[in-house]
Amino acid sequence: MLFASTLLSAALLMLASVTALPQHEEGGLMGRQSSCPSGSFRANTTACAPCPAGNTCSGGRNRPDPCDTGLYQPNTGSTSCLRTPPGFFTNRRGSAMPTPCPAGSYQPYSRQAFCYGAPRGRFQQQTGKSFVCATCCGWATTMNNNNVNPVKCGGAAPFAWPNSGDGCISRPTSCTPAATCAQAANGTCHSNFSFTAGQTIRG
Ligand SMILES: *[C@@H]1O[C@H](CO)[C@@H](O)[C@H](O)[C@H]1NC(C)=O
Ligand SMILES: *[C@@H]1O[C@H](CO)[C@@H](O)[C@H](O)[C@H]1NC(C)=O
Ligand SMILES: *[C@@H]1O[C@H](CO)[C@@H](O)[C@H](O)[C@H]1NC(C)=O
């Protein structure tokens, strides 16, 4: 206790002598004032402020460090960033929130800055998904990429194989055309045709 109070007196003495230094002197009082706890940064000469969302702060005299692309941080006062989950992307540094993949795209991996487009024969009707659905028997996609909705084959070409990216055909197939090919409200794909991370085709 005696030792501690002696130390304190010594520190106060030092502080008093340092106060006499010009305010702008390098390594002087300014340097000491600049030390902030981790999760905060020096906002000005008198205050530390909580680290802004989208950034990490290691404290001391360091400035906020923006989260890299593929990472984000919704909270203030943080020392680490979070990984963008599958189905989302973060393409800007310093992001507070990840962005859901738009309909017609998907992202099976975490920490990504983009989404893959649903390739031919595959589609994704919902946002924020990590997988694509394959077209059902009798349905096809119309585009090579970014397919949101499959189209039902009809007229002179009412047939198509499941997972058809080659459009509709007039020749009958061995499968029975499905009445609907919509995704369920919960995002699961129709019937047996869904493709998850290990099975996806990168668009
Ligand atoms: C210093 O920063 C704090 C925290 O952001 C703020 O509340 C205060 O008004 C600022 N003071 C000056 C002098 O700018
Ligand atoms: C999603 O919805 C479909 C159709 O309503 C249902 O068959 C399936 O079990 C649901 N899956 C989950 C994971 O809730
Ligand atoms: C899904 O696959 C099973 C077994 O392969 C099959 O019996 C069933 O008819 C299929 N369901 C649809 C909707 O295609």
Domain ranges of the chain: 34-97, 101-203
Q: Residues with Cβ < 8 Å from 160, sequence gap 6 or more?
A: 135, 137, 138, 139, 140, 153, 166, 167, 168, 169, 173, 177
Residues with CB under 6 A from ligand 2: 184, 186, 188
pLDDT of residue 178: 92
Compute, in angstroms, the gap from residue 191 CA to the centroid of ligand 3: 7
| Ligand 1 neighbour 46 (Cβ under 6 A) | yes
Residue nearest to atom 5 of ligand 2 (CA): 184
pLDDT of residue 172: 93
What confidence tens digit (pLDDT) does each residue in 152-196 have?
A: 999 999 999 988 888 899 999 998 999 999 999 999 898 655 554
Global pTM? Answer: 0.75
Residue stretches of the chain with pLDDT short of 50: 1-31, 196-203
pLDDT of residue 89: 97
CATH of 34-97, one of 3.90.660, 2.60.40, 2.10.50, 2.40.160: 2.10.50
Radius of gyration of the chain (CA): 29
Tell me the torsion sign for CA atoms 75, 73, 95, 201.
negative
Beta strands 65-66 and 99-100 are: unpaired
Residue nearest to atom 12 of ligand 3 (CA): 191
Residue nearest to atom 1 of ligand 3 (CA): 192
